[in-house]
Amino acid sequence: MELAIISADFEVEIPASIREALGIEPGQRMEIRERDGRIELLPLRPITELGGLLRDMPNDFEREPDRDLP
């Protein structure tokens, strides 16, 4: 378990082992959420990292008649 201390300016330093494991870089933007009494930090990734994300998603399902593409 890693620990962090909140500074007087409410800044938190992410431990090096976590930064390295997630590839977090200085200046990278993070999404911050409150969920069930805890704080979640989610690194925002460039859109280019999403290439091929849906590659294996099946697309052979039947569409409703009013949703068919012409």
Residue 70 has pLDDT above 80, yes or no: no
The mean pLDDT value for 16-41 works out to 92
The mean pLDDT value for 9-26 works out to 92
d(CA 70, CA 10) in angstroms, rounded, equals: 55
Residue 69 has pLDDT above 90, yes or no: no
DSSP string, 7-58: -TTS-BPPPHHHHHHHT--TT--EEEEEETTEEEEEE---GGGGTTTTTT--
Does any domain span residue 65? no
Domain of 25: which CATH number? 2.10.260.10
> What total of structural domains would you count in the chain?
1
- Bridge partner list, 41: 32
Q: Return the C-alpha torsion angle 18, 23, 25, 31, nearest 10.
A: -80
Residue 54 has pLDDT above 80, yes or no: no
Range of the domain at 5: 1-46
